């Protein structure tokens, strides 16, 4: 299982149920990487999408504790085990945990690869991701530096050691 996300310099990932950075090249990378795959997310992340609609051409799995939550076009799961059972039909490389903070934390133990876009800027945020550079279980195996309108960022790949 993989994770994909973007972080600020402080490992912030969101504020007011929105992303911190909206950079086209990063959005395109996310789209290309997850297209045709299974994406696992929390209820709040689904609701942060335009009109709270699932991502097209991907199998959208949404985690909630609510028993009567059933938006159109998503597979609803109520706990981690239910998600793990559902995604068994996929090659684990084809499953992407796409957020947010609660769901990244829950699925971290099941992931071996993290596609991380690192923006070289700080922004106010209210959701964070664990600092992988201070975590002995993960190593950065690829870094591709990019820039957009003076904002520097890197496409990186972390793998479990």
Ligand X SMILES: NC(=O)c1ccc[n+]([C@@H]2O[C@H](COP(=O)([O-])OP(=O)(O)OC[C@H]3O[C@@H](n4cnc5c(N)ncnc54)[C@H](OP(=O)(O)O)[C@@H]3O)[C@@H](O)[C@H]2O)c1
The footprint of ligand X (CB under 6 A) covers 5-6, 13-14, 17-19, 41-45, 48, 63-66, 78-79, 98-103, 106, 127
The residue (of 82 and 94) whose beta carbon lies closer to ligand X is: 82
Minimum distance from CB of 20 to ligand X (Å)? 6
Q: Closest distance between ligand X and the C-beta of residue 53, in Å?
A: 15
State how far the alpha carbon of 116 is from the alpha carbons of 57, 59, 73, 99, 132, in Å. 22, 21, 27, 12, 10
| Nearest-approach distance from CB 51 to ligand X, in angstroms | 15
Considering the complex, what minimum distance in angstroms separates the CB of residue 38 from ligand X? 16
Query: What single-letter DSSP state applies at residue 53?
Result: P
CB nearer to ligand X: give 43 or 113: 43
Please say which residue, 72 or 136, places its beta carbon nearer to ligand X.
72
Distance CA 72, CA 12 (A): 30
Tokens read off for 73: 């076009």
Question: Which of 68, 136 has the CB closer to ligand X?
Answer: 68
**Residue found by looking up tokens 């997850």 in the block:** 34
**Helical (H) or strand (E) element with 101:** helix 101-107
């Amino acid at each position: 299982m993989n994770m994909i996300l973007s972080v600020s310099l402080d490992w912030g990932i969101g504020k007011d149920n929105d992303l911190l950075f909206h950079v086209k090249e990063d959005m395109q990378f996310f789209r290309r990487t997850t297209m045709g795959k299974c994406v696992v997310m929390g209820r709040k992340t689904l609701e942060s999408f335009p009109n709270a609609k699932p991502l097209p051409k991907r199998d959208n799995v949404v985690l909630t504790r609510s028993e009567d939550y059933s938006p159109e076009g998503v597979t609803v799961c109520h706990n981690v085990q239910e998600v793990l059972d559902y995604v068994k039909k996929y090659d684990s490389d084809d499953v992407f945990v796409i957020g947010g903070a609660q769901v990244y934390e829950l699925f971290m133990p099941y992931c071996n690869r993290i596609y991380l876009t690192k923006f070289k800027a700080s922004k106010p945020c209210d959701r964070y991701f664990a600092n992988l550079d201070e975590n002995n279980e993960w190593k950065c195996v690829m870094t591709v530096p990019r820039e957009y309108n003076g904002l520097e960022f890197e496409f990186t790949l972390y793998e479990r050691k």
